[in-house]
Amino acid sequence: MITLEHAYLVVGLMFAAFAMLALAERGAPGRIRRALFWGLVAASLLFGSHLGGFGNGLLVIALVAIGATGRLGAGAPATTGQTEREAGAARFGNRLFVPALMVPLFAVGGTLLAKNTAAGQWLISPVQTTLIALGIGCLAALATAMLWFRQPLLAPLQEGRRLMDSIGWAALLPQMLASLGAVFLAADVGQVVGDLIAMVIPLTTVALAVFAYCLGMALFTIVMGNAFAAFPVMTAAIGLPFLVGTFGGDPAIVCAIGMLAGFCGTLMTPMAANFNVVPANLLELPDRNAPLNGVIRAQIPTALLMLVANMVLMYGLAFRH
């Protein structure tokens, strides 16, 4: 049976390869720092379940210490040039998207297979099924691309390393912030936030509770930089005790739309560096250093409209009995 540990193993080996390739790039500035950083990420994925809380905590502190020393920088991986890429794009056209589209198809199909068939239940673990199916989809897409495009064996690792070097430590922000949200939940921050919100907005009706929950998810995400950090706090403060407990809302719908409301906040904050700051730098936008750079300013109107839409959807869908 394929379990989440197998998915961690594959991703851990990928980061270990990034570390070894960076270390082998003699003469490249910052190669030791990059190799250490990606090596520690690999160690966390490969051995995290055996290290316990204290060991994983030391790994996180080491990652933060390396990231705090400055940018990781980017190496010069052996990869295709602009001319080769343009020639490949002209040759394959829109068929280039086939491997990419395989990933979500496998993720959805694998999840349905595991939930509804005996063969799927035998093949895929019922714990974190979607993540496992997503990993299978990535491997299937990689194998298809390698057989179809006839690239060198190290091409996926070199291209992956190039992308991760460009993003740098910001690639770990979602995981770090999600962990911070779990810490806040364990510290009972949700209860404190719920009491403060109740002092400002009387949660006496479904409409007010939905408004407070969705708006709180967006605002807390703007502050934290990630909806995964806001979700446990706001759900413990308003989602479960009021929307589900008091008003009888469907917990699956409340939580799903609540996360979408949080993602609206992600679109409006520079704290979400991996989404809004790094792309601006990679695209070399002229105003990429402004607090609200071009990416964020372009996303704000859509984010506000989607936030209102999420409130309406939650009110209309989560409380039908």
- Inform me whether the pLDDT recorded for 228 exceeds 90: no
Amino acid at 310: N
**Which has the closest alpha carbon to 259: 235, 225, 223, 295?**
235
The pair of structure tokens assigned to 213 is 């929950």
**pLDDT (0 to 100) of residue 265:** 92
Per-residue exposure over 250-261, b if at least 16 CB sit within 10 Å of its own CB, e if not: beebbbebbbbb
Query: What residue type is assigned to position 20 of the chain?
Result: M
| CB distance 260 to 303 below 8 Å | no
pLDDT digits 0-9 by tens, 10-41:
999 999 999 998 888 777 777 788 889 999 99
pLDDT digits (tens, 9 = 90+) for 162-186: 888 877 777 787 777 777 777 777 7
Of the candidates 125, 150, 131, the one whose C-alpha atom is nearest the C-alpha of residue 45 is 131
pLDDT digits (tens, 9 = 90+) for 103-152: 999 998 888 888 888 877 888 888 888 888 999 999 999 999 888 888 88
Quick check: 287 pLDDT over 70? no
32/20 Cα distance (integer angstroms): 10
Predicted local confidence at residue 310, as pLDDT = 96
pTM metric for this prediction: 0.72
Dist CA 39 CA 74 (whole Å): 16
